[in-house]
Amino acid sequence: MLRVFRHRRQILVGGALLAVAMSAALVHAQRRFEVYLLAVHNDGRVVTDLKATDLHFRENEQLGDIVSVEPFKWPVKVTVLVDNGIGGASGLAGATQRSINGSAPGEVSGGSVRFDESVHSNLVQFRSGLKKFFEALPRDVEVTLISTAPNPRYLVRPTTDQVQIQKGVGLIVNDDETLGRFTDSLTEYTERLDRDFKGLTREQRPPYLPVLVSIGSAGLDGGFIEKERTERMLLSLQKYGVMTFFIMVTPGIRSDVPENEGGTVLIAKAAQQMTRGRYDAIASSATTRLTTLLPEIAGAIGVRHVKQTWQYRVLIDRPEGLTGPFSKDLAFSLARENVKFVLSLDGSYP
């Protein structure tokens, strides 16, 4: 539940909605509770010097006590999966598929295929787009870069070192004989999240908010797709609140692929829908779009990162004598001119 409130505005309707959310969040009624707040000047600058005396909380027209206001950072971590195989960085433009062992068109053997003629490389566009993507991210965002063909492989392990990141982009090379292992890469990613978040209770906050950017190719998957394993992967993306961006490169001049022609498309769209993420399809002949799309995505991630790292944890005592469910008459106000603020119950902002 997230609401934006203006300077000194008494929140009547907003307060009622917030009360419902608070009552649902606090199963056991408590007098002391916490919320998370991001304050922004009208010109877009975040407020970095908020004090307890700047905030006021009222319930049933009674003044509560702002116990403390302290900076709270909950960073994002970005993982990028890039398909460097056939149809991805290697490129594909309306080619006829045949397997390496010479079997009939459309057949695959061990995830390895070749395409007749009209094959062109998208490697330059992939590298250029990713260089601009990483340049557009805030410098303190930790990133990981993984190529997916012939197997998922680290090009950049988790780091904020810009030299290492740009060096890793240069390590992306074409694999002209294998398909990217799209589903395997997603599965390995969620298995890493399982390890990172192991032992956390439902009440505990994960150490970071995961962000996934996947540049894949529409069509066949070079890995082994096992239904139950894939379903667990999709549920994990949803469970961990992963912020997702899927870019699917499609053959030739087409930017759309019927779902029954692309197994990777089915999985990418399912993941995007379950996480309420973003899905973009780009024709192989138009991958120059990556040089503008990827920085645009980096900008969205950067906004989320700023919200997460410049917020405040606010500890509040309800007015004396008030217990049980929150009243519908709640009001937050901020004693700062030309400032608006956003409240979150868990410190997560969309």
Query: How does DSSP assign 100-161, residue by residue?
Result: TT---TT--BTTBEEEES-----HHHHHHHHHHHHHHS-TT-EEEEEE-SSS-EEEEEEE--
pLDDT at 219: 79
Mind listing the pLDDT tens digit for each residue in 239-248? 999 999 999 9
Give me the pLDDT at residue 205, please.
80
Residue 346 has pLDDT above 60, yes or no: yes
Give 212's pLDDT tier (boundaries 50, 70, 90): very high
Report the pLDDT value the prediction gives residue 95, as an integer from 0 to 100.
39
Give the architecture-level CATH label for domain 76-306: 3-Layer(aba) Sandwich (3.40)
Per-residue pLDDT, averaged over 98-103, amounts to 35
Rounded to two decimals, what is the model's pTM? 0.80
Which segments of the chain belong to CATH 3.40.50.410? 76-306
Reply yes or no on whether the pLDDT at 150 is more than 70.
Answer: yes
**How confident is the model over 9-30, as a mean pLDDT?**
46
pLDDT of 180 above 80: yes
